[in-house]
Amino acid sequence: MIDLRLLREDPEGVAAHLKRRGYILDIECLLACDRELRALETDKQERAAERNSLSRKIGEQKRQGGDAAELLAEVERLDRVNTSAAERLGALTGERRALLDDIPNLPADEAPEGADESANVEVERWGEIPEFDFEPRDHIDLGTPLGLDLASASAMSGARFSVMWGALAQLHRALIQHMIALHTGRHGYTEVYVPSIVSSAALYGSGKLPKFAEDLFRLHERDLYLIPTAEVALAHIGADRIFAEGELPLKMVSHTPCYRSEAGSYGRDTRGVIRQHQFEKVELVQWVRADESAQALDELRGHAEAVLRSLELPYRVVELCCGDLGTSAARTFDLEVWMPGQSAYREISSCSNCTDFQARRLRARRRGDSGTELLHSLNGSGLAVGRTLVALIENGQRTDGSVSIPEALRPWMDGRELLEPEGPGD
């Protein structure tokens, strides 16, 4: 949610910023609603003061044995006006809230101009793209003899789920352990275990509701949802909280399963484990002072990159243009890993500075010298586990169908250096 005071003071400036990301703000509608609502609230307060005054006068009249009928009649009239105005006040409150909830975050001044992903800007590449003396295969052809069992997953759960057997499952787990160890041991994050089921309030706070309701899995007839990312739960830890100076920055890392309906993604990456309804992710979330979030974004991005470098996976960094930013983000860098099976770079982490957008929804603040001020929040995948597994398999493939395991993962793999074809249950 953006600052309502800023909208009142500089509506044209806010509209111009939002236009950069392709969002057309109906200024007149919003401000008209806001003006009428504020006028009604002022009238309500004046009527309350008048009613209190009348109540005092009625008490005095009765103590003196006088007739308070006229005063009582006026109180009844005020109560009727309040009852009549309450419905309009409620409707306007809901209308203004809906208008504000639809507005995305203002893009940072540094965010590149552009309407869609075609205008995203590549800012860095790392690593050498592997060269093979054979035709490289994709992760499905490679993974099936290694223990990837899509057929069993489909039989029990439908499309876009996976089962993994043996050493492949162990490699998947090794990635999680390696990522958590790296972020806690080297990057200063505190590991946090969080629920996989959250309320609509938590989803609203992080900006996932109301805009992305169709992408969520909701528990039947309950105000509870499966998390689309640990960001939702980690961000909510700051809700209704005033942080002391010594508590910041708060840097959290969490491994969770994530659940997304992937509405509207039909036909995109439906084969294999690139885009699934359930997947694992190691998520990084930070609450920081407002004046430190720009630097924190560079650092968080570096933490996600460190995972890719430790696994010797070639990748590139792309800054998203204004038109491709997520709702909560003011600035975002995507990390895209090289996938030989597709001969393309694919997103594996998205690192964003959400400035005070989530903090305003969640009321996450810090205590300063002159009162309290909103914090800034940042988030990024560190990394998406399934996509990292795909990248490892495809980049480390050998002509015989085996896969080289990066040295960083071997301690988690009982020293194993190769992932070799094996059947389910072997």
Active site residue 350: yes
Could you say which of 162, 328, 349, 350 is catalytic? 350
d(CA 74, CA 72) in angstroms, rounded, equals 5
d(CA 396, CA 23) in angstroms, rounded, equals 43
Could you say which of 260, 301, 331, 366 is catalytic? 260
Active site residue 137: no
Could you say which of 36, 299, 347, 373 is catalytic? 347
Residue type at position 33: C
Active site residue 125: no
Q: How far is residue 369 from each of residues 44, 245, 247, 291, 387, measured CA to CA in Å?
A: 34, 10, 16, 15, 45
Active site residue 275: yes
- CA angle (213 as vertex; 208, 216 as ends), nearest 5: 85
Residue type at position 11: P
Closest CA to 198 of 181, 175, 223: 223
Active site residue 347: yes
Neighbours of 73 (CB within 10 A): 11
Q: Which residues are catalytic?
A: 260, 275, 347, 350, 387
